[in-house]
Amino acid sequence: MKVIYGTGNLKKIEQVKNFFKTQSVDLEILSLKDIGFNEEIEENGETIEENSMIKAKAIKEYCEKNNINEIIITDDTGLMVDALNGKPGVHTARYAGDHAPQEVAINKLLDEMKNIEEKERTAHFECVLTAVLPNGKYIVEKGITEGKIATKPGTMGKLTFGPIFIPNGYIVVMNDLKDEELGHTHREIAFLKLLEDLKKCER
């Protein structure tokens, strides 16, 4: 079975491939580049659910025009900080401006939270996956990782806000945890749910 994963980010493609392998799922993952999709999608939704759906519909329309009939999966992810009324939320990827360096985005968030006490620094990552089946059916699943915002960054890299997000049950930030320590992230939780949905569709 082939699946089109709605991203041009090869690192994300590789992460999903590795995740499917750990679940003993035999899927061929195609990127947007693999299907010749190079259009700019305007993600103007008010929620991450809307943005994930916007991407799914745009890719579905392209696939129909080009006689491509595979499962399409898109995602959108946001960091919701309770003390900031859910910000950066749907604007997580552009929180400090388009293509802003990780350090700039992190410093902006930490600056906005400099007077927030530890017990009030709760936050969560949320990932929404939208799958479009060849028959036109849409499936939406969500994964969440609860935690809090640290007062200073740990190891940089990976998720933009991974260096300052401490998952519940740990005392160090997400980026300083090994994969086996962290367990399933919000994206992986959403994929696990989606895989169960796809298995049901095959029955």
Residues 131-158 as b or e (16 or more Cβ within 10 Å = b): bbbeeeeebbbbbebebbbbeebbeeee
Collapsing DSSP to helix, strand or coil, 30 comes out as strand
Tell me: the pLDDT tens digits for 3-54? 999 998 888 898 888 888 888 888 889 999 999 999 999 999 999 999 999 9
Range of the domain at 165: 2-202
Domain count, the chain: 1
Kindly report, residue by residue over 89-122, the tens digit of the pLDDT: 999 999 998 889 999 999 999 999 999 999 999 9
- Residue pair 163/154 in contact (Cβ under 8 Å)? The answer is yes
DSSP secondary structure code for residue 88 in this structure: B
Active-site entry in 76, 82, 111, 179: 76
Q: What is the CATH number of the domain that holds 172?
A: 3.90.950.10
What is the pLDDT, as a whole number, of residue 179? 80
Q: Are strands 165-167 and 71-81 parallel, antiparallel or unpaired?
A: unpaired
Q: So what's the pLDDT on residue 85? A: 96
**For residue 10, what pLDDT is reported?**
85
165-183 average pLDDT score: 92
The tens digit of pLDDT for each residue in 179-203 reads 888 888 999 999 999 999 988 886 5
75 is catalytic: no
3-state secondary structure of 153: coil
Residue 141 predicted with pLDDT over 80 = yes
pTM of this structure: 0.93
pLDDT at 203: 57
User: What pLDDT band is residue 167 in, cutting at 50, 70 and 90?
Assistant: very high
